[in-house]
Amino acid sequence: MLSYVVKRVLQMIPTLFGVSLLCFVIIHSVPGDPAHLIAGVDATDEQVQSVKEQLGLDRPLLEQYFSYVSHLLRGDLGESLQSERPVLQEIMTRFPNTILLTVFSVAIMVVVGLFAGILSATKPNSIRDNVTMMFSLFGISMPVFWFGTMLILLFSYYWPLLPSGGSSGFRHFILPSVVLGLSSSGVLARLTRSSILEVIHQDFIRTARAKGVKERIVIYKHTLKNALIPIITIIGLEFGTLLGGAVLTETVFSMNGLGRFIIQSIQFRDYPAVQGCILFVATIFVVVNLVVDLCYSAVDPRIRYE
């Protein structure tokens, strides 16, 4: 197991290297001269030149990339052009809000999604199944920014129970987490349903029922346990979607998180910050997927890592 973990961590390195290269290429494909953008519209040629020298933009591209990577390895993501503070510091002050939002949303997604999926799968093609699956489809199809706006309208304006924006206390996280959690629970409910239906017709379930095991135990112990692998995979993938989706939700609820910072940085053309944030989120996503992979063997002891 340990050797597998080491192997997987080592395998992550080329992916992260590729991610850094892609970030670098994306930011360096900005049409026009980035130094011009940074120095401002009415900057003199000398000012532009000094920005170039300061940021090393006058050096060959390959050299720039290597210097960028060497800074990255030392945890240096550059300096934000808006605040002139290190990008990593800017990220770290906002990241706790985003990660809290993501964790709350994942919790809501798992509870609602699993419950809805089990509800559907245990009585396939019934009214219950059809209604649940229709709700899941709505969840998948609903734009989060619209759902968020509607919840603000209902629970902040018409029925003032919760704040419409901000991120200073637990109450501020309720609406955004419900928005993200419920809209992604649709994907999980559909997948849970299909994974359970695949398992429920197998022989060992029939044996369990023939032995007289209670239906509740058949579902939760025998069926769900064997249907967990695809479910865990989708939870890992949704974690990334939620991190990305946080951009929209944080904007709707004016939260001081990483997603909103990315938007502000894009609007300000703060390229070091945009580059740093995207790299940061992608790295977390890669790590989460590794953790998901490692969870497989815990869930299914038949999976052995050699």
State the nearest-atom distance from the C-beta of 275 to another protein, in Å: 9
Residues 6+ apart with CB under 8 A from 5: 294
Answer for which of 2, 3, 13, 29 binds another protein (CB under 8 A) is 29
Asked if 292 is part of the footprint of another protein (rule: CB under 8 A), the reply reads no
Asked if 69 is part of the footprint of another protein (rule: CB under 8 A), the reply reads no
- Rounded to whole angstroms, the maximal C-alpha distance in the chain is 85
Which of 4/145 has CB closer to another protein?
A: 145
Asked if 21 is part of the footprint of another protein (rule: CB under 8 A), the reply reads yes
Distance CA 229, CA 14 (A): 26
Nearest in space to 182 (alpha carbons), one of 116, 269, 236, 125: 116
Asked if 22 is part of the footprint of another protein (rule: CB under 8 A), the reply reads yes
State the nearest-atom distance from the C-beta of 179 to another protein, in Å: 13
Answer for which of 105, 116, 274, 276 binds another protein (CB under 8 A) is 274
Asked if 227 is part of the footprint of another protein (rule: CB under 8 A), the reply reads no
Asked if 278 is part of the footprint of another protein (rule: CB under 8 A), the reply reads yes
Interactions with another protein, residue window 106-165 (CB under 8 A): 134, 137-138, 140-146, 149-150, 152-153, 157
State the nearest-atom distance from the C-beta of 48 to another protein, in Å: 20
Which of 3/141 has CB closer to another protein?
A: 141
Asked if 282 is part of the footprint of another protein (rule: CB under 8 A), the reply reads yes
- Interface residues toward another protein, by CB under 8 A: 14-16, 18-19, 21-23, 26-27, 29-31, 134, 137-138, 140-146, 149-150, 152-153, 157, 240-241, 243-245, 247-248, 251, 262-263, 266-267, 274, 278, 281-282, 285-286
